[in-house]
Amino acid sequence: MAKSDAKKLMGKMSAPIIGAPDKHDTAAPDRREQRKLDQALGLVPFAVKLNSALVLQLQTLAKARGIDLNAQVAEVLTKGLAA
């Protein structure tokens, strides 16, 4: 019973504030729209587990070049497979 009371209280506390920007008003597409955009570009999700030092290198290189991590990884893989 205490749990349900706490949930009700939390629900009241998280009520939207009038005049505050809504989280749905952002310019970023939601997950479903993003999946559709990615599919249209021919992108496929591909999960791998990498060493944290390697990931840090990739992130640093991408940041230095001003590109996103996906583009950086794609470029490194393309160059590696061509060699």
- The answer as to whether 41 is a domain residue is no
pTM over 0.75? The answer is no
Burial (CB < 10 A; 0-12, 13-18, 19+), residue 75, is middle
- The answer as to whether 39 is a domain residue is no
- The answer as to whether 37 is a domain residue is no
- The answer as to whether 59 is a domain residue is yes
Q: How many distinct structural domains can be found in the chain?
A: 1
- The answer as to whether 52 is a domain residue is yes
Q: Of all residues in the chain, what percent carry a pLDDT higher than 90? A: 54
Per-chain mean pLDDT for the chain: 83
**CA trace torsion 70, 72, 41, 47 (10° rounding):** -40
- The answer as to whether 62 is a domain residue is yes
pLDDT (0 to 100) of residue 80: 96
pLDDT (0 to 100) of residue 77: 95
Residue predicted with more confidence, 19 or 33 = 33
- The answer as to whether 32 is a domain residue is no
- Cα separation, 81 vs 16, in Å, equals 51
